[in-house]
Copies of this chain bind each other. A is one copy, B any other.
Amino acid sequence: MKAKNTIPRNRFLPEGISLLRQLNAKALPTTLNLGLGKPEEDMPVVLRPLMQVALSESSLEYTENAGDLKTREALSGRFKLNGAASLLLTHGAQEGLMAALLATLNHGDEVLLPDPGFLAYAPMVRMLGAKPVSYTLKLVQNAYHHDLTLIKSKITSRTRAIILSSPGNPTGCDLEEAEFSALLKLIKTKKMIILSDEVYGMLHFKKPYFPLATLSDRVISVNSFSKSHALTGWRIGFVATCDQALARSCLVAHQYIATCASVPAQRFLEQLLKSPLFESVAMDYKSRYQNKLSLFREHSSPKLREKTPLVSGGFYLFPKLPKKQSSVQFCEELLRKENVLAVPGVAFGKNGEGSIRLSLALPDEQVIKAAQVLSKYY
């Protein structure tokens, strides 16, 4: 007989199978899959020769923990950061986020999170022994916005960080400069930082990307090249902050999590930063995704169009359901009857209930089909 309770376990560890994964497991190969949180294609074909150059002769042994100095200098220059010391190359944004949280949080601390928001935030905060406290994103004039009054009311003496994400996943919410300034003013008198998840930042339809960390030393910016350059499997991203103590804390956490970022990925990024392709690939994806979202709207019924909030960037739409009903039930029915997979909004937080997330990083004909099928319900 095996007593399972003799195996130690972090009691804040989430269960392994998320709602998203459960649904994905039911999908068939023929399913029109709007559930994937990733770019349309495997790495861009135009980048393959660059990869060969990057790896053919370079050293592939450990770099320093923070990452190769030249690459960090190049990134710092491009993004107007405070030199190489304000940057840390990470194993994607995921590891960057974990390093930043591990570096700053103590047991019992509180972290403010967007609801609806990226589904990893709350479990990550929880498994470090801290407490996720969600702030609702508000629909105003058919787009999701930050409600500063609400956010202010959620700050307690235990609050240590607020996670911002703009353009947000799944809402496509934006954070305007005035809002950011007001938020900064709000937290300046507190023992708090802003953790800015910028993975869709280079896919913002109206604003050129810059790390929010360039605006204040109370900000840690986390980003990767997974979405902007379709380099998901390369796991390369960065953590940037202009506060020296904070940068050092993140570096310490990072070194014990990862030693250093993948060196092949660092070498590849080094070449990419020198190439005009760095700019053009991201630009191409941005306009491509913007066109796909427009295409979806064009082929939507008037009611679906009305129910679909406007987004500031990225490749997701987050429509409200046609009537008050469970998003899980709606998605199960959609999969069963139409062989179309969408993600129940409730997976992104309590406030996501009543909506569904559609990932439109797909070929145009699939985008059109998605609009047509969904329109039947609206």
Q: Which residues of A contact B (CB under 8 A)?
A: 4-16, 38-39, 42-43, 48, 51-52, 55-56, 59-63, 91-92, 94-95, 98, 102-107, 109, 120, 123-124, 127-129, 160-161, 190-193, 218, 230-235, 243, 245-246, 248-249, 251-253, 256-266
A8 & B193 in contact (Cβ 8 Å cutoff): yes
Q: A61-B233, A235-B262, A262-B265 are in contact. Are A245 and B9 (CB under 8 A)?
A: yes
**Which B residues are in CB contact (< 8 Å) with A92?**
258-259
A252 & B103 in contact (Cβ 8 Å cutoff): no
A271 to chain B, nearest CB (A): 14
A169 to chain B, nearest CB (A): 14
A46 to chain B, nearest CB (A): 14
* A51 (CB) vs chain B CBs: closest residue: B55
Pick from B14, B102, B106, B218: contact of A252, CB below 8 A: B14
**Which B residues are in CB contact (< 8 Å) with A129?**
107, 129
A233 & B262 in contact (Cβ 8 Å cutoff): yes
Bound: A252/B127 CA distance, A:
10
A255 to chain B, nearest CB (A): 8
A134 to chain B, nearest CB (A): 18
A187 to chain B, nearest CB (A): 9
Pick from B61, B249, B266: contact of A232, CB below 8 A: B61
**Which B residues are in CB contact (< 8 Å) with A15?**
252
A7 & B263 in contact (Cβ 8 Å cutoff): no
B10 & A106 in contact (Cβ 8 Å cutoff): yes
Q: A42-B59, A124-B256 are in contact. Are A235 and B91 (CB under 8 A)?
A: yes
Bound: A15/B249 CA distance, A:
8
B235 & A263 in contact (Cβ 8 Å cutoff): yes
Pick from B52, B61, B160, B264: contact of A262, CB below 8 A: B264
**Which B residues are in CB contact (< 8 Å) with A14?**
252
Pick from B7, B61, B193, B218: contact of A42, CB below 8 A: B61
